Every structure is written in structure tokens, then in C-alpha cells.
Chains A and B, each alone.
Chain A
């Protein structure tokens, strides 16, 4: 059984388009996250949701909007895609939002903007 799943695994699109990446976790966790891993492998947190409420919003362009219909899902919508958005996006989840909560990651979505 997949714990944290993301769709699609690969996404190739043109500049200016709007796209979404879906994430689902079946671990019963309360907190979900989105990370961006750039071409240099650097991982940076973008958003965190705890019980459907945003608790971290690092400085990312407002073209990126997370949407959480329920605590098992955290989708990432990206408007007006730019070349610099090309990266691997990882979804993760943890039981709670505390410092001791281990984060478990999805397989990643490789986004390529042409």
C-alpha cells in the first residue's frame, strides 16, 4: 500500500499554463507538506497544512496555491507557469505538526516547463 502518493509523476507543460499536482496520504496523518527540489538537489519547504489549515507559508510566489479538501489530501495548483518552476515537487505528511513528527515523502513529481 502506498503511504503518500502523488500524481502525476511527470508533468511537461508550456510556459504560462496552469497545472495541478495531487497528493494523497493514507497514513491518517494530520499534517501535510509541499517541498520543491531544484536542479541542485536542494530541498525547500513551500507549504504545510495541519488539519486543513495553513501553518507554514514560506516565501513562494502567489502563483502557487495549496488546496486541502480534507486532511488526507493536499493539492498544489500553479498558475502562469515559468521556466524557473521546473523542479521536482515532493509531498510529505506527518502525524502532527510538532518538532518530533517524522515526515514521510511521496515519490515526487518532476515538473518541466518549456
Chain B
């Protein structure tokens, strides 16, 4: 069974628009970590953020922000004032005991100039 769900397979926005990528996870563990990775067209996987299950404080890094809500098992990612360079596939992932690492199926974001 999938542990991480990214319901949005493809999103297109016009440059400078804000966009939110959804991530819903499933786990019975109380200790776990959530991640976001970016995969640009060049193919490499770039680490963006890691959050632990005990820290629900929202995180902001430049134009990127993350909203972690345990009540809804969600870890959503918002890009403010999107740019063409943000075009990529974004993966949400869950890490739990035994370093089992589960990726979502990814959301392909296209930012149109």
C-alpha cells in the first residue's frame, strides 16, 4: 500500500503565481520524518526539506514554505511567486523506523513564462 499520496499529477501555473503542492501520508508510527525533493528536467534529485513528526511548526525558506498538519496527515508545499526555474517534478517522501523510505508518485509542475 502506498504510504505517501500526491494527488496532483500535473500542475501548470503562470509565472509569479503562487502554487501549492499537496502531500498526504499514512503511517502508524509516532516517530517519522517527511521530506520534499525536487527533480528538475536534468534528472537529479535535490533535497529541499526534512521535518520530524514532533515539529508542526511551519517552515519558510525564501519563496518556499511548508505546512505540516498532523491532524490531516498532510505536508503541503507552497511556492510563492513561481518562476520558470521552479518547473520540475516534486516528490514528497516519508521515512520511518528502519529507515524505510517511501516516495509519493510526484507532482509535475510547469511554470509558464
Contacts and interface: CB of A to CB of B under 8 A. Distances in A.
B31 to A, nearest CB: 6
Contact of A42 (B35, B37, B96, B103): B103
Interface in A37-92: 40-45, 48, 55-56, 88, 90, 92
Interface in B61-91: 89, 91
A99 B99 contact: yes
Interface residues of B, number: 26
Q: Which secondary structure characterizes the binding site on chain B?
A: strand
A101 B103 contact: no
A31 B47 contact: no
Interface residues on A, range: 20 to 34
Contact of A88 (B43, B50, B98, B100): B43
Contact of B35 (A48, A102, A108): A102
| Most B C-beta atoms less than 10 A away, residue of A97, A99, A105 | A99
Contacts of B37: 105
A56 B10 CA distance: 32
Contacts of A107: 43-44
Nearest to A97: B99
